Amino acid sequence: MKRPLILVSNDDGITSKGILTLVNVMKTIGEVIVVAPDSPQSGMGHAITVGETLRLEESTIFEGVKAYQCSGTPADCVKMARHYVLRDLREPDLVVSGVNHGSNTSISVLYSGTMSAAIEGAIEGTPAIGFSLCDFGHDADFSHTEEYIKKITLQVLEKGLPKGVALNVNFPPKRNESLKGIRICRQANAKWIEEFDERKDPNGRRYFWMAGNFVNFDKGEDNDEWAIANNYISVVPCQFDLTAHASIAVLNEAWSIL
């Protein structure tokens, strides 16, 4: 039997520490091909490149792995992988993205390039997983994620995922105590409260620097923020269908213009 074909991408760029971790784990599971941004694309969400050129070049950065660096967004990378790089080959059995250098819990999933690469895989009908480490430090330690990345990946390859679903997996930062395990969670009710710092450049022209604080309004113990805070790995099933299905009946009943 053929080993599974695993497409790897990310949003931190092809030279990041996190994607190297992910590639090394995936090499123990199947045949790996990488299509990743040639520069950091954090916070791009599900943006795609229109009206500009896309460039794609082979890379030898990963030993024994066919890899390409793309000038586009994470979603561009998965699209190019599926419809150009792999067009005359077999379809991937799995799309994995990450390991992101920083948290993608709660509302951050909407802004995440890491998860957008995974969601793009789900749109194409392929099981997909986005992995993130909740540590923004430049010297973040990814070593404690490897065992669980492999376990989660093997579960998905063996048992599949519901159609149109991608998993959002977040790891706590490495601590003195071992990880407590895995929690299947919902997305926490939390958001960023933005602040805009007004500044002036050397020419006296005004510009802004966006900052802010993350506020968690959720008091439950079944969400991803709680899991990370309590040293569990959070796994949130995500879908690209944003329809508020329960609201259809409410609007049909309430709106007098229908």
10 CB-side CA count, 13 A? 28
Q: Beta partners for 233?
A: 182
Which helix or strand (DSSP H or E) is residue 75 part of? helix 74-80
Tell me how far apart the alpha carbons of residues 172 and 126 are, in angstroms, rounded to a whole number.
Answer: 27
Cβ–Cβ < 8 Å for 73, 79 = no
Annotation-wise, does 93 bind a ligand? no
**Among 107, 102, 109, 97, residue whose Cα is nearest residue 156:** 97
Q: Is 132 annotated as a binding residue?
A: no
User: Known binder of ligand: residue 135?
Assistant: no
The pLDDT score that the predictor gives to residue 239 is: 95
Q: Residues 57-76: pLDDT tens digits?
A: 999 999 999 999 999 999 99
Residue extents of the structural domains in the chain: 5-188+220-254
HSE-CB for 135 with a 13 A CA cutoff: 19
In terms of Cα–Cα distance, which of 132, 126, 133 is closest to 165? 126
Tell me: the pLDDT tens digits for 81-106?
999 999 988 999 999 999 999 999 99
Q: Is 11 annotated as a binding residue?
A: yes
What is the second-level CATH architecture of the domain 5-188+220-254? 3-Layer(aba) Sandwich (3.40)
